[in-house]
Structure 1
């Protein structure tokens, strides 16, 4: 008569999956877990905002309407402001920013930084595809104004200008941080990235073609994509034996500045 031994969940002495994920000695698993958690935490407010938009939550609608009408009234009284916003929104539109990203990718490939070029491409492509898909799924109409100063086609949530500006600014920032060795240069890079991100989003609301929540949704979506692709890339490079990095301080591939072929 044969006896059946109960199956074991893990070999004796082998730490559980949960402990391996949180064990500092298993640095790759820990970084993956923390990075995935960070990306999830960014997606939570985006998902909540999306649900509020889909449900036409009255307080959000009132806030969006108040901001839109206030900025629209200012635009009607200040034609120079409208001209500035139109120029900015065209210069930092999705297509010009994608062209800049393409130039960056070509430059990285010429330096032999193939993995870094793949990360930049993946970040821009994934973010660029998710945004339009969500626009179709949410189907939110753009603001309707009696005397518009600008027009835009398509649905409204999330803002494509805001998300693509955030993606491009984030990619450029994380690629070029290793080249900025001094504090002033790093501060300038961060300031430029924030300026592009914030002012591009503001321009869409100022021109009356997006609600404020559309822009916020675009920012949150882009940050979530950046967090996810950066987590994957930094874990990948650590798995190949390269030293761990803090992307917001070191960039995603510090070795690109001295040894581009290893990035």
Structure 2
């Protein structure tokens, strides 16, 4: 079995024929430095992500992974090209998406149930209804009994569970995650990765997951996108991960097929990492 299917960069729906949820067509993003110099972060990005697909983006530091996520979220607008969500050009904030970042996005003065229910309350749902739904999601992320705790009373992993419940309670069609588990210890990280997969498999959300960890990307994803080193980064490789689901991220890493995938994708990624290191060295 051909476990790795690389390219073409422009992705077409597979046999399940799911509709395209996210499309980036010819997207270039530039910033103007304080010196007035124009810095091109991304250049001619063409990417399609299907409904319900779990897609990870990997690449060397500074290649524009987070910028890509920001464009999909609508935090930034492309300098050229277009971003489409469900076939419609994105203008402003992406109302179909929710974001989980590396840092905690919980409010320290609110309890777990208040943090989780906030998204519904802001959408006009009554407090009692929002609390009822929040209790469901708090239990789904394994925090039943901690409803009245404050974030400072929770571990890092538990706060990440709160952040996930905060996002998922509004039932987003797109979940955007930027190095969301990188600050966790290895055991908690593994637990959270499995928790994420369990919840994702119960929804139809499309996930865009940014990570520096290639093993994490392969273990979680349907596809792994490899980006080139910046500046003017673009997509170098587009790999379909044909490993069976459901997966346990700790166990799948020892599968011979997983190791083959890792070797093949790393061959692409390693060259870009070395280019990035050389650029950093020369700039010092």
Band of TM-score, shorter chain: under 0.3
Structure number with the higher helix fraction is: 1
Task: Give the TM-score of the pair, scaled to structure 2.
Answer: 0.25
Structure number with the higher strand fraction is: 2
Task: Give the TM-score of the pair, scaled to structure 1.
Answer: 0.26
Which structure: larger Rg?
Answer: 1
